[in-house]
Amino acid sequence: MHNTAIALIQLGAVFFGLGLLGKMAWRIGISPIPLYLIGGLAFGQGGLVPLHGIEEFSHISSEIGVILLLLLLGLEYSAAELMTGLKRSWTAGVVDIVLNATPGVIAALVLGWGPVGALAMGGVTYISSSGIIAKVLGDLGRLGNRETPVVLSVLVFEDLAMAVYLPILTAVLAGVSFVGGLTAVGVSLAAITVVLVIALKFGRYVSALVDSPDPEVFLLKVLGSALLVAGVASQLQVSAAVGAFLLGIAISGSTAENATRMLEPLRDLFAAMFFVVFGLNTDPASIPPVLGWAVALAVVTTLTKVATGWWAARRQGIGRMGRARAGAALVARGEFSIVIASLTVASGAVDGELAALATAYVLLMAVLGPVAARVVEPLAQKFTRMRGTAPAPA
């Protein structure tokens, strides 16, 4: 068999296998992300059946997956909505950062990964998975609950924090000098500021530029502009994914809604490939040595996320059951933790064990998050009965 045939067979098997894993995951009520990672571990270097010949395609697919993840995240909000969300939720956002980034920072410093590793692991343990959380809230019928706006406001703040954090992380990982690093960060922050101003003042022109009544032309213009902006951003030392995120913010109204509808299947396809590639590049043998750390971080950051949601909901006058639901809803970590770990490991600036720890951690949290959201109500009711008190209103 020639190389093209082998590559097509392998890619077909990978995509078909991902489809089966995704179906299995949603049937048992968990995110498919852990299964995608396990699939990657099984077929990567050191796995059960290593694949060869699809490295170049899978690498590019993985990059497009990250770009589409961030582009669609940006399409969910206009610049005005982001600014409003920031003003409304900044105190809860600060509490979220302090409580949930600190465990990752401490773990990295204890493991000897230095300040750069601490910056990366802080991001891995801090950022919740908005994709998993949105899916769980919808499945459990909680979109109309009183605590849900609190959960969403925390997620909006995390999105904003990511828009600032990723350029800084990218500059630090580039290993430039102190002055060079400040310059790169300055360029990143200036780019973010310019895009936000453009989005606020001239967003309708950006939307008009990519809009088209023809679906094929529209898809080509949106996807092409996203890849173009991501490439330019990468050249300017701003993360390519952040460039796509900023473009998404600049597109608004019906154009954003149409783009989201048309790009969602592509995002799901390439994002699945992104998780597989991350697993492919992680040696399964590297996970057992860090599994204890992953379990410890999972326990600690589950408690800190619950505390964050509880505190934020309490400030809005929500009852104990609602506070518990808000906290449990925020537990899941997923796509963006892997994005951070991927950027860090690809730079070569941090010990390769970080990828293993991040993989094990996300495997645990992507499963634990939906489970925690489902069992929090029965557990809270049982606890209330044991104390012999009437349930507090939500």
pLDDT of residue 367: 81
pLDDT of residue 43: 77
pLDDT of residue 381: 81
Identify whether the C-beta of residue 36 lies closer than 8 Å to the C-beta of residue 18: yes
Helices (H), strands (E): how many in the chain?
A: 15, 0
Tokens read off for 334: 């997923």
Tokens read off for 246: 């900023």
pLDDT of residue 390: 53
Q: Could you tell me if residue 15 is inside a domain?
A: no
Among 254, 233, 225, CA closest to 188: 233
Number of residues that make up the chain: 394
For residue 49, count other CB atoms closer than 10 A to its CB: 9
What residue type is assigned to position 118 of the chain? A
**3-class secondary-structure state, position 210:** helix
Tokens read off for 315: 């400030």
- CA torsion angle 40 51 68 220 (round to 10): -160
Q: Could you tell me if residue 13 is inside a domain?
A: no
pLDDT of residue 238: 63
pLDDT of residue 392: 52
Helices 79-110, 148-173: crossing angle, 10 deg rounding: 60
Burial of 298 (C-beta count, 10 Å sphere; 0-12/13-18/19+)? buried
d(Cα 354, Cα 350) in Å, to the nearest integer?
A: 7
Q: Could you tell me if residue 20 is inside a domain?
A: no
Residue stretches of the chain with pLDDT short of 70: 1-2, 44-50, 53, 79, 81-83, 85-86, 88, 138, 143, 175-185, 187-188, 192, 195, 199, 236-239, 387-394
Residues 6+ apart with CB under 8 A from 379: none
Among 294, 271, 293, CA closest to 342: 271
pLDDT of residue 190: 75
d(Cα 164, Cα 185) in Å, to the nearest integer?
A: 9
pLDDT of residue 353: 83
End-to-end CA distance of the chain: 63
Among 33, 53, 117, 187, CA closest to 343: 117
Q: Could you tell me if residue 6 is inside a domain?
A: no
pLDDT of residue 305: 95
> What are φ and ψ of residue 176, in 5° steps?
-75, 170
d(Cα 41, Cα 355) in Å, to the nearest integer?
A: 12
pLDDT of residue 285: 82
- Total structural domains within the chain: 1
Q: Could you tell me if residue 390 is inside a domain?
A: no
Alpha-carbon distances, residue 41 vs 35, 64, 194, 334, 390 (angstroms): 10, 20, 41, 16, 48
pLDDT of residue 231: 86
Host H or E run for residue 365:
helix 353-387
pLDDT of residue 63: 83
Q: Could you tell me if residue 173 is inside a domain?
A: yes
pLDDT of residue 178: 57
Please provide the average confidence, as pLDDT, over all residues in the chain: 81
Alpha-carbon distances, residue 369 vs 91, 326, 328, 329, 332 (angstroms): 23, 12, 7, 7, 4
Helices 253-280, 178-210: crossing angle, 10 deg rounding: 130
Q: Could you tell me if residue 348 is inside a domain?
A: yes
pLDDT of residue 223: 92
Q: Could you tell me if residue 154 is inside a domain?
A: yes
pLDDT of residue 306: 94
Domain boundaries, position 59: 55-379
Cα-based angle 243, 247, 248 (whole degrees, multiple of 5): 115
Specify the CATH number for the domain of residue 128.
1.20.1530.20
pLDDT of residue 16: 87
